[in-house]
Amino acid sequence: MTSKALPEVDNFIPVETTKEDLCFADLEILDFSSYGDGPTARQELADKVHKAMRTDGFFVIVNHGISEEVISRQVDIGHTILRRTPQEEKNRLKADILGKGEYPGFKPRGHWKTANGAPDRIENFNINRNMSLHEQPAALEPYREEIQSVVDMIHKDILSKILKLFAMALEIEDEDFFVNCHSYEKHDESWARWMEYYMSEAKGENNDTPLLLGGHQDFGSLSLLFSQPMSSLQVRNYTDDAQWKYVKHIPGAMIVNAGEIMMWWTGDYFKAAVHRVIEPPQDQRGFDRSGFFYFVVPNDDVIINTLVEESPVLRKAGINKWFKEDEAPTSKGWCNARIRATGQKTLFADSAAKNSEREKIGGVTTTWYR
């Protein structure tokens, strides 16, 4: 019996792994092959989540169930959609970022500002897990079934396991607490993203601003990304000297980081990862960077506040509510406001010594980092 031939794609050729001696972050690695081995094995994974969330807000998952071949195929699909969609169609299907504060559609290069106010070199294409909610480009249609299958597995299987570990790490009695806040059947602003950094076009340029995507905390509950060979992603640890350190490439691995919503749920007991993207080492420059991501936010109507009643861990740590009851944001309200604001200001232009800047968005204060 022959297998069904997959539609052809424009292959993205990733850069070779760097040979330079870099300072890598010491991130927790969770092996999901042990997830089904019983309560003790799952508790060990939950303990690793707890440690990671108290130090970096980042951890890595191996043996999560999606093969390297499928991951590479998704990167190729995104590369194909971005390359084959005519500019006129991209303009028509442009994400309504500044209006509704939503990401589905195309984000063009130049929409975000870098630290010195220069336009970014990043293009991305985003979908809601329910692709029928928005018109999709013609270039996506041959791959619709493949995309839906992978997105469904990420949300229904991998994400559900991760969220249960978070509940266990906080000793919440209902292990499905976070799963129920991210119901697959209900609407939310979660999105899958294919993103390309067009750095080959800048080959040979003297770039005095190596920052490609400024330091920030993601605004959702969790962000899931598949490891990329290019060494550009950096994270700052909360417990050591707060220096930027590279995230090491592990082929086929999934990198997970917590966002501001998880930070609010835990009253800053779990840390929202501070991270950025910079120019890669010299032996990787002049090449493009392409990746596949799944950004997770709770269902639209979920009200975000600190889970003091639900979590004995938070009570023992003396954590207080992050918001007053009448000021706690809904998931949708916060996400839409934050999406509108992202990348619209020139930061740190006045002071070289300033490493962070706070901004109030929709009644909620967020922080940007150098």
d(CA 27, CA 126): 28
Q: Could you give the number of structural domains in the chain? A: 1
Tell me the mean pLDDT per 10 residues along the chain, length 370.
80 96 96 98 99 96 98 98 98 95 92 72 95 98 98 99 99 99 98 92 57 88 97 88 90 98 97 93 93 98 97 98 91 92 57 57 56
* Residue pair 226/254 in contact by the 8 Å Cβ criterion: yes
The model's pTM: 0.91
- Position 58 in a domain: yes
Q: Say what the pLDDT of residue 60 is.
A: 99
In a domain, 362, yes or no: no
- Write down the pLDDT at residue 1: 45
Q: Is 360 within a domain?
A: no
Give the model's pLDDT for residue 112: 73
Per-residue confidence (pLDDT) for residue 213, from 0 to 100? 84
- Cite the beta strand spans of 86-204 per DSSP E: 105-107, 122-127, 191-197
Domain-located, residue 16: no
Helix (H) or strand (E) holding 235: strand 233-236
- Whether 97 is in a domain gets the answer yes
Instruction: Flag whether 367 is in a domain.
Output: no
CATH number, domain containing residue 269 = 2.60.120.330
Note the helical H segments in 35-129. Answer: 39-55, 68-84, 87-92
Q: Is 4 helix (H, G, I), strand (E, B) or coil?
A: coil
* Domain range enclosing 177: 28-345
Does 1 fall in a domain? no
